């Protein structure tokens, strides 16, 4: 068994110095919903020091709401924003002798892409224009995954260790019961069960089959470091190899 362990970092709201060494992939905030150039530099340096794969974590340009509000941006504006974020992080990475390995959307943009073909196509077009060899990390079975495949972009599914699922496989909206899981033992046990079986329970108990190569812990979830450490240890003890997917 083999799995990638990723987390959202560079958002200036978690302990990246403690979290990044536990990961195999890091979704580095590109400055649209949090962070900025100095934070990107520090985060990339931590990734390099710990041999962690660097992904671009793009978002709606919405620092006020931390990228968790869906915006109806014109196609050209959204594409330009995603490209600007990619080039900003890529430039800093290249200065440090590193390179981007994949793209993952953040918050409202991630959820919108999972269901809205137009938004998914816009972000995928930006990715393709930037570097068509980079994969998209996204929700398994989503519109985004299907549209990426149509566009010739590799799509990699991810599961969430610290988030609840609806019966249709989408994420339970934040603020609703069961949306966020913070108990370290529960998160680790649930994730290991998914790695072994490919099945994750929804908030109602429905068994969802999720085909994914990566599992995510959010860097801003309370207790994220302990959660990632516990999960990493439980996976290794079970004989699961932790390896970056890109």
Determine the average pLDDT of the residues in 122-127: 98
Buried b (16+ CB within 10 A) or exposed e, 175-212: eeeebbbeebeebbebbbebbeeeebebbeeeebebeb
Domains in the chain, CATH or no CATH each: 2-242 (3.20.20.370)
Find, among 138, 171, 184, the residue nearest to 157 by Cα.
138
* pLDDT for residue 216: 97
pLDDT digits (tens, 9 = 90+) for 71-108: 999 999 999 999 999 999 999 999 999 999 999 999 99
Computed from CA positions of residues 170, 71, 8, 184, in that sequence, does the dihedral angle turn out positive or negative?
negative
What the block records as the tokens of 148 is 């990426």
Q: Compute the average pLDDT of residues 102-124.
A: 98
Q: What is the mean pLDDT of the chain?
A: 97
Cβ(102)–Cβ(156) below 8 Å: yes
Could you tell me the pTM of the whole model? 0.96
3-state secondary structure 119-156: HHHHHHHHHHHHCCCCCEEECCCCHHHHHHHHCCCCEE
SS3 42: helix
Q: Which of 215, 180, 218, 223 is nearest to 196 (CA)?
A: 215
In this predicted structure, what is the pLDDT of residue 156? 98
Q: What pLDDT score was predicted for residue 32?
A: 98
For 182-216, what is each residue's pLDDT tens digit? 999 999 999 999 999 999 999 999 999 999 999 99
Position 1 pLDDT exceeds 90: no
Query: In Å, how far from its chain's centre is CA 179?
Result: 16
Tokens of 129: 């224009």
In sequence order, which ranges of the chain are alpha helices (DSSP H)? 16-19, 37-49, 75-95, 107-115, 117-130, 143-150, 184-197, 224-237
Residue 160 φ then ψ, to 5°: -115, 125
- What is the pLDDT confidence band of residue 51, given thresholds at 50, 70 and 90? very high
Q: 8 pLDDT band (50/70/90 cuts)?
A: very high
Q: Tell me the C-alpha to C-alpha distance, in Å, between residue 155 and each of 14, 20, 139, 144, 236.
A: 28, 23, 9, 8, 26
- Range from 32-36, 58-62, 205-209, 218-222 carrying the lowest mean pLDDT: 218-222
Pairing of strands 136-138, 155-160: parallel
What are the tens digits of pLDDT across the range 154-170? 999 999 999 999 999 99
pLDDT given at position 67:
96
């Amino acid at each position: 068994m083999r799995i990638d362990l990723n987390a959202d970092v560079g958002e200036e709201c978690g302990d990246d110095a403690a979290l990044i060494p536990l990961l195999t992939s890091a979704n580095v905030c590109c400055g649209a919903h949090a962070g900025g150039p100095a934070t990107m530099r520090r985060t990339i340096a931590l990734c390099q020091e710990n041999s962690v794969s660097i992904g671009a974590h793009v978002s709606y340009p919405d620092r006020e709401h931390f990228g968790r509000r869906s915006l109806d941006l014109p196609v050209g504006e959204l594409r330009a924003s995603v490209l600007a974020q990619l080039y900003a992080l890529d430039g800093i990475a290249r200065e440090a002798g590193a390179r981007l390995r994949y793209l993952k959307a953040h918050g409202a943009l991630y959820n919108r892409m999972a269901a809205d073909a137009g938004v998914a196509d816009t972000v995928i077009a930006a990715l393709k224009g930037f570097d068509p060899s980079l994969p998209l990390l996204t929700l398994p079975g989503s519109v985004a995954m299907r549209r990426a495949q149509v566009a010739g972009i590799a799509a990699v599914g991810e599961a969430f260790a610290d988030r609840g699922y609806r019966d249709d496989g989408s994420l339970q909206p934040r603020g609703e019961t069961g949306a966020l899981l913070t108990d370290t033992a529960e998160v680790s046990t649930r994730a290991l069960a998914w790695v072994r079986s490919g099945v994750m329970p929804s908030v109602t108990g429905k068994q969802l089959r999720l085909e994914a190569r990566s599992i995510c812990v959010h860097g801003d979830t309370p207790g994220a470091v302990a959660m990632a450490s516990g999960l990493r240890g439980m996976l290794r003890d079970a004989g699961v190899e932790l390896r970056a997917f890109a």
